Structure 1
Amino acid sequence: MWTPDEIAELCYQRFEELPKRGKPEPGREWTLLAAVVRLTRVEKEVVSIGTGTKCIGRTAMSPRGDVLNDSHAEVIARRGCIRYLTEQLRLAVRGQGSSVFCRAEQQCGKWRLRPGVSFLFFTSHTPCGDASIIPMTDNECQPCPVLGAAETLKGAAKVIDGDGAPKRKAKSTSQDGNIKRSRLDSVQPEGSEGGGDCTNTSRALATSDVHRTGAKCVPGGPSDPHQSGAGYHSTGSTLRLKPGRGEPTLSLSCSDKLARWGVLGFQGALLSHYLQEAIYFIAVVVGKCAYSTEAMQRALVTRCSPVTGLPPGFSVWRPTLLQSNLEFPFSQARTQLQHQAGQGKVSPCGAAISWCNVPERPLDVTANGYKHGATKKALDTDKARSLLCKVELFHCFLSLVSATEPSCLPDSLREKELRSYWDYKWASESYQRAGRQLHIKAFPLWPHSDRSLLCFQ
């Protein structure tokens, strides 16, 4: 058994144990943290940690798959977990023993979770997008800065100080906040609460305003009405893109991505080749922050309830939703309290940290889509790549395929001419069928990835 506070403390402690490189400067910089926790009957283990608040603009995306497009903590933690799962499958196919997977019965080349093994998702802050459109209870905000193409190249060319912090902060072309409140529009009835601490459950507040999200509605669908107070946003089936003040981003909000993982699983298309069933988070735990159980339920679960006709191994998952009383030490609110005169403006940390429980290169620190500290001359080389970018995760998967005896390959990988990332993704037929049902029944406006960005090898 476990409690939300135990999970939060475990994740914060694991972050504290990481090296200093890429961490926020106390009292001046802040960040968000997310983690994946492996649960068994006897232990709780953090297997992936992610921090970050930024994503790149669309013109900075690379057809080589060598740029990390989305560096929000939730996305970083999930991609790090994919590295972990790939390594566990590699151990399994080599017969070296995996603590996560065992062979699936009556399906050649397929694996499933060991009995008693499950995964939980933790995030220090309410996910950006639909889940963050909640009744106002405090002044916290969650930024989603996006960098333009020029700033991406400029930032990547900066060298690192000895303590791992960038010498100067990259300029942002985005909005400063993802969850915002309009004081002019906010009118609270007499006796209502405002500016109070968050609790573990949603409170029925007589409020006339909601936290604002900077995530923009996807083109082609309903837009926010932008009415005063609580009528400012549309909620529910609306999909949102992470914001950009100059150049738009193509990264969907973390609320949308978590909802998608609740139907397709968080293992992704490539690992689905090897798995009998999709892998779902049994619970989502949020740290102390502005929070609403109803908004989380709406964003992560209710929006996907119309989905039917899923292939075997997929379902509409309903995770347990909980909140901890423990606040992340590097949250924006905590950083503002610790800020001292002369430290400069309080701002989001420019780096994103990934750590996962793998034997080789477990730590990966990035900035602006590239490895932290990469110079401009190195941008087109392997040295500049984040271990979480698409091409690196693809090569990690190909090493799993190479480690598998030909007679033990899953049927979906046999006797097919598969070369590019695109080929392998679309050869995962059950996963793709599930994705079509999700898009048809729940998210018809879900943007399709440009094939030209996915044909790398």
Structure 2
Amino acid sequence: MWSADEIAGLCYLHYRTRLPKQGKPDPNREWTSLAAVVKVESAAQREALDSPGNLQVTKEVVAMGTGTKCIGQNKMRKTGDILNDSHAEIVAKRSFQRCQHISSLPDGFLTQEVKLLQSDLQFEHSRQAIQEVQSNSKTKLVPCSAAISWSAVPEQPLDVTSDGFRQGTTKKGIGSQQSRSKICKVELFHKFQKLVTSISQEDLPDTLRMKTLKTYWDYKEAALNYQEAWRVLRSQALLGWVKNAKEYLHFT
């Protein structure tokens, strides 16, 4: 139905055309990593002539992230208003969660077998690509300091951060509403709570009817299907994924 090159090509095109220059690396001295979530839908369509139905596949980028850095233990905050980890995979995952919280609650999470496919296409701002272009330069290549989040949402789809806060935040502004990334934990949590309150009690899953749910940690632990699906995914493909200590998840 589709190949790794098709998916990679779609993501690279999205990166070039939908993400602004702000937050992208300077190709003369910087590189970054890219991750994305692509929605693939299949639908049988019958041609006008008498022939078997053809399987049409539509592919759409719904979330994307760039980034290479963590902020470090000494800068972590227990209020959920900072991005502790801005690696591309985490940014893309959170961008997808933002998309889900704004659109609707998913039907549910199921464990699935992971298939790893390798594309032969090269990302234009990867470390290898920049090294090849700058092979004769004496300039030292460094990771890009900014991270870009893109979500398929109607308002403010882009979010650029640096050192865990929105790009341009001053030391004085840290902790303010304006300094928060749209994909920091507390912002995603508040979007989720807003979505939950918009759904009638009888339509909510049993886990969300519990009166004892208050903190981010409470809600996360109550999502048993999500926890199991996420555990299987980590064990199959994301072995190096770092989990935060509980003390950083007890905010409201």
Q: TM-score, normalised by structure 1?
A: 0.47
What is the CA distance between 1:450 and its match in structure 2?
A: 3.1
Deviations 1:412-432 (A, max 9, x none): 111413221122122224545
Q: 2:222 — aligned with what?
A: 427
- Describe the SS at the equivalent of 1:65: coil
Query: Residues 27 and 336 of structure 1 are in contact (CA less than 8 Å); yes or no, is this contact kept in structure 2?
Result: no
* Distance in 1 between residues matched to 2:200 and 2:27, nearest whole Å: 50
Q: 2:187 — aligned with what?
A: 392
* Distance in 2 between residues matched to 1:78 and 1:367, nearest whole Å: 18
Q: 1:339 — aligned with what?
A: 134
Query: Residues 50 and 73 of structure 1 are in contact (CA less than 8 Å); yes or no, is this contact kept in structure 2?
Result: yes
2:157 paired with 1:362:
yes
| 1:115-264 correspondence to structure 2 within 5 Å | none
* Distance in 2 between residues matched to 1:355 and 1:396, nearest whole Å: 16
Residue identity in the other structure for 2:193: L
Q: 1:9 — aligned with what?
A: 9
Deviations 1:220-264 (A, max 9, x none): xxxxxxxxxxxxxxxxxxxxxxxxxxxxxxxxxxxxxxxxxxxxx
Describe the shift of the 1:428–1:320 C-alpha distance in structure 2 as closer, same or farther (beyond 3 A). closer
Deviations 1:391-424 (A, max 9, x none): 1110111111011112212111114132211221
What is the CA distance between 1:24 and its match in structure 2?
A: 0.7
Q: 2:51 — aligned with what?
A: none
What is the CA distance between 1:353 and its match in structure 2?
A: 0.6
Deviations 1:71-110 (A, max 9, x none): 11111111111111222316xxxxxxxxxx6xxxxxxxxx
Residue identity in the other structure for 2:200: E
- Describe the SS at the equivalent of 1:59: helix
* Distance in 2 between residues matched to 1:437 and 1:329, nearest whole Å: 32
Describe the shift of the 1:321–1:340 C-alpha distance in structure 2 as closer, same or farther (beyond 3 A). closer
Q: Which of residues 62, 73, 82 is equivalent to 1:47?
A: 62
Q: 2:21 — aligned with what?
A: 20
* Distance in 1 between residues matched to 2:117 and 2:197, nearest whole Å: 41
* Distance in 1 between residues matched to 2:95 and 2:77, nearest whole Å: 20
Describe the shift of the 1:330–1:430 C-alpha distance in structure 2 as closer, same or farther (beyond 3 A). closer
| 1:233-382 correspondence to structure 2 within 5 Å | 275=108, 277-278=109-110, 315=111, 317-339=112-134, 344-382=139-177
Q: 1:30 — aligned with what?
A: 31
Residue identity in the other structure for 2:33: L
Describe the shift of the 1:38–1:336 C-alpha distance in structure 2 as closer, same or farther (beyond 3 A). same
Deviations 1:186-216 (A, max 9, x none): xxxxxxxxxxxxxxxxxxxxxxxxxxxxxxx
Describe the shift of the 1:415–1:332 C-alpha distance in structure 2 as closer, same or farther (beyond 3 A). closer
Q: Which of residues 79, 96, 99 is equivalent to 1:84?
A: 99
* Distance in 2 between residues matched to 1:447 and 1:354, nearest whole Å: 20
Greater fraction helix: 2
Residue identity in the other structure for 1:82: Q
Q: Which has the larger radius of gyration?
A: 1
* Distance in 2 between residues matched to 1:71 and 1:24, nearest whole Å: 15
The alignment-based identity, stated in percent, is 49
Runs (5+) with no aligned partner, structure 2: 43-56, 235-240
- Describe the SS at the equivalent of 2:172: helix
Residue identity in the other structure for 2:23: G
Q: 1:451 — aligned with what?
A: 246
- Describe the SS at the equivalent of 2:61: strand
Describe the shift of the 1:320–1:402 C-alpha distance in structure 2 as closer, same or farther (beyond 3 A). same
Residue identity in the other structure for 1:377: K
Q: 1:383 — aligned with what?
A: 178
* Distance in 2 between residues matched to 1:340 and 1:329, nearest whole Å: 15
| 1:65-84 correspondence to structure 2 within 5 Å | 65-84=80-99
Deviations 1:100-146 (A, max 9, x none): x6xxxxxxxxx2xxxxxxxxxxxxxxxxxxxxxxxxxxxxxxxxxxx
Runs (5+) with no aligned partner, structure 1: 91-100, 102-110, 112-274, 279-314, 440-445
Describe the shift of the 1:438–1:343 C-alpha distance in structure 2 as closer, same or farther (beyond 3 A). closer
- Describe the SS at the equivalent of 1:322: coil
Query: Residues 37 and 61 of structure 2 are in contact (CA less than 8 Å); yes or no, is this contact kept in structure 1?
Result: yes
What is the CA distance between 1:453 and its match in structure 2?
A: 1.5
Residue identity in the other structure for 1:7: I
Query: Residues 356 and 362 of structure 1 are in contact (CA less than 8 Å); yes or no, is this contact kept in structure 2?
Result: yes
What is the CA distance between 1:341 and its match in structure 2?
A: 7.5
Residue identity in the other structure for 1:13: L
- Describe the SS at the equivalent of 2:193: helix
* Distance in 2 between residues matched to 1:393 and 1:377, nearest whole Å: 23
